[in-house]
Amino acid sequence: MPSESLSLPLLGRVAAGAPIEAVEHDEFIEVPSSLVRHADRTYALRVQGQSMIDDGILDGDVILVQRQNTAQNGEIVVAMVGEEATVKRFYAHRGAKNIPQEAIDALFERLGGGDGDGEDSAGRSIDKMIELRPANSTMAPMWFDPSEIQLRGVVVGLIRRFV
């Protein structure tokens, strides 16, 4: 019995490494309907880079992404950092004791202020940061204030072509 298939938009590529610019295309990819729970909220992206190899997501793979703007800790997400898209594991951290000092210092440097003590010049402290963690032991996680990123969806499937 043949499996039904769906045509999902292939919206471009996403970085599994340093973020790259998201480019939209008018391409579609046929996928088995059994891989997609919410077809109206699902799209595909081609992966570029090596940062997710320990999770089995390789350069050239196509990921299926369910469009949503929230995620649970540990989920693999597609996030926009400025105008650039990346795929990483998502973790929301609360409380400065759970956040590396170098991440706090880098955040204050990007946002302005700070003197290296986890507070900025106005005395504001970090109580929540988002970690986008690669699945590659040679790469460091990226840390952001929640206002610096936009979640575009959670990875719900993977398609790999063997040549």
- Provide the annotated active-site residues: 51, 88
Residues comprising the chain, all counted:
163
Closest CA to 68 of 155, 153, 156: 153
**Phi and psi angles of residue 109, each rounded to the nearest 5 degrees, phi first:** -65, -45
Give burial (CB, 10 Å; 0-12/13-18/19+) of 126.
Answer: buried
Tokens representing 130?
A: 């988002």
